[in-house]
Amino acid sequence: MDLTIQNRFEQALLQTDGLLTLAEEMKQEGFSQRQIYDLFTAYLEIFRAADRSEEEDDAFLDCMDYISSWCSETSRLFPDENFDWR
C-alpha cells in the first residue's frame, strides 16, 4: 500500500468518524467505489496486525459497509451505485 494512503488511514483513526470522513474525501477526489473498498480491505490487514480493539474493528467494518452499500439506503456512501462483488 502506498505510504501516503497508509498515513491517511493512520490520521483518520485518530478522529471520531475519521474513517468515514476519509472515505468521503476519497470519493470527492475521484476514487471509485471499488477503489475505496479495495484500499480499505488492504488497510484492514495492517489494521488487524496492529491488534486493535474490537470496538475499533467494528467501526472499521461499519465504514466498509457504508462504502459497499451493505447498509440502509440512507447511509450509503454511493447511493446510486450497485456494488460489484467480483
**Structural domain boundaries in the chain:** 3-71
Q: Considering the chain, what is the average pLDDT of its residues?
A: 87
In the prediction, which pLDDT does 11 show? Answer: 95
Question: How much of the chain, in percent, has pLDDT values that exceed 90?
Answer: 47
Q: What is the pLDDT of residue 65?
A: 87
Contact at 8 Å (CB) between 33 and 81?
Answer: yes
Sign of the four-CA dihedral 31, 34, 39, 44: positive
What is the pLDDT, as a whole number, of residue 25?
97
| pTM for this model (two decimals) | 0.84
- Residue 26 CB: number of other CB atoms within 10 A? 20
pLDDT digits (tens, 9 = 90+) for 18-43: 999 999 999 999 999 999 999 999 99
84, pLDDT greater than 70: no
